[in-house]
Chain A
Amino acid sequence: MKFLDEYRNEDLAKKIVAEIHNIVTQPWVLMEVCGGQTHTIVKYGIDHLLPAQVELVHGPGCPVCVTSLEMIDKAHAIARRPDVIFCSFGDMLRVPGSDSDLLILKSRGADVRVVYSPIDCLKIARANPDKKVVFFAIGFETTAPANAMAVWQAARQGIKNFSVLVSHVLVPPAMAAILESPLNRVQGFLGPGHVCTVMGYHEYEPLAERYRVPIVITGFEPLDLLQGTLMTVRQLEKGTHEVENQYPRVVQREGNAVAQDLVKKVFEVCDRKWRGVGMIPASGYTLREEFAAHNAERIFDVAEINTAESDICISGQVLRGVKKPHDCPAFGKQCTPDHPLGATMVSAEGACAAYYAYGRHLQMEQPVGVGA
């Protein structure tokens, strides 16, 4: 496919890898922010191509992983209702709540539907006027324009039986939380290319300045990630801390102004609890008051639910880049994609699921030293 295949070119990859080997003089820890980037890194073994001094740790940018257990339990409480058609992205279906997941609820008769796009829910709502159609609106800034448009159009078109259960999260506050942590090891970031397609990257400039870390907005193909790594290592070696854009073919500094406008009209910033991490101030979006008629939390009055995570799972530390999947005693043993104990094994984009899918749990059984 055009704009994909050429960014997987082996000869160019070797060149960039050689250049990284050539310029690095000391150890550096880089974090890729997005789950999609983690996926590419593990799939192509990019971390194994880098010099031993350059360590990639995996960031919190997997929206399925960081959606709080409380919010998932609220989704399940709503999906169980006989008057509800509960719509979701496919990767939320298997995510375990306290006692179930959406697929199990569907097998027990709940009307749970996978949609490709939130705007598809409007068709479902029009076709089922006697039902309440609820969409589980999770995601980072990349997904916010789609969810905002679904709500905006429902309001504009008078589709009263459509609502959203919102659990949106924002990248910059999470990066700040990682950098503020006393356990932080991250010295440079591969920034979130698709989030910045929407939001631009000007909001990362204060972060780079305040914490003196280079941030290179990076794409999702192997050459993108290698080039982003090269640019970040170059800055670290030079001692600079700027925001650079590796991904100018889709990212501009100001982002997509049309999308930002509608997101601002529909959502406002709120505090948000992240699974495995905890509450981060001003790190999420919630619906503005004028869209309360489309707010599933209001309509269904789902109470706060007390939840408990596995006490073996270290996903919170994995999400903050403090530990790696193979540092967990349960990884690949009690905890697998079929029986996930925690957030990062639950979604395909989670670091633990990516490591598992590409056989890293098998490498652990080899006598070679693995783990931090």
Chain B
Amino acid sequence: MPPSPHFPPPDDMCLAIPGKLLEITDDGHGVRMGRANFGGIVKQVCLEYTPEVVTGDYILVHVGFALSKVDEEEAARTYKLLEEMEQLGELDAPEPESVPPDWKT
């Protein structure tokens, strides 16, 4: 079944998503701003809470505010742990239901 047209709304306030910081600017009123690219969509982002970020960093953005820098080393470490996860137990485990075809959407 296709998702309801209501869901998810394009301006869902609770999503926080990672974007790549393209540029650091000022809003003309002394507020540190920037532009970030979210998979092709470029939006204005307030950088007041992430004084450490520089152009090229990935930042986690929620309602127009960067809340943290995405730690690429931690991301790689977590991912490697998952990839290397011990598979011996799999032989005894029941076959889980197959992963839905739209998993990668």
Contacts and interface: CB of A to CB of B under 8 A. Distances in A.
SS class, residues of chain A in contact with chain B: helix
Contacts of A4: 17-18, 39
Given A45-B100, A337-B7, 6 more contacts: A18-B96, A19-B86, A119-B46, A194-B62, A197-B68, A356-B4
Contacts of A10: 99, 103-104
A36 interface: yes
Contacts of B89: 18-19, 22-23
B6 A146 contact: no
Given A15-B87, A49-B97, A119-B31, A6 B79 contact: yes
A15 B46 contact: no
A91 B13 CA distance: 7
Interface size, A (range): 35 or more
Nearest to B3: A357
A222 interface: yes
A19 B31 contact: no
A22 B87 CA distance: 10
Given A22-B90, A153-B29, A3 B85 contact: no
Contacts, number: 201
A342 interface: no
* Pairs A-B, 9 closest by C-beta atoms: A117-B64, A22-B89, A90-B11, A1-B39, A21-B93, A357-B7, A359-B1, A89-B13, A249-B75
Q: Counting chain A CB atoms within 10 Å of each CB, which of B1, B78, B79 scores highest?
A: B78
A108 to B, nearest CB: 22
B64 A90 contact: no
Instruction: Give the size range of B's interface with the partner.
Output: 35 or more
Contact of A198 (B12, B67, B94): B67
Contact of B62 (A12, A146, A251): A146
A258 B51 contact: yes
Interface in B71-86: 71-72, 74-75, 77-79, 82-83, 85-86
B64 A119 contact: yes
B76 to A, nearest CB: 9
A25 to B, nearest CB: 12
B18 A143 contact: no
Contact of A1 (B4, B18, B44): B18
A110 B87 CA distance: 60
A145 B75 CA distance: 24
A121 to B, nearest CB: 11
Nearest to A14: B99
Contact of A18 (B7, B11, B78, B87): B87
Contacts of B63: 89, 116-118, 139, 143, 146
Contact of A114 (B3, B11, B44): B11
Interface in A226-252: 227, 246, 248-252
Interface in B1-22: 1, 3-4, 6-18, 20
Given A118-B63, A222-B103, A16 B18 contact: no
Contacts of B14: 34-36, 62-63, 139-140, 142-143, 194, 349
A276 B100 CA distance: 33
A368 B3 CA distance: 23
B100 to A, nearest CB: 5
Contacts of B96: 14, 17-18, 21, 49
A259 B49 contact: yes
A22 B68 contact: no
B56 to A, nearest CB: 12
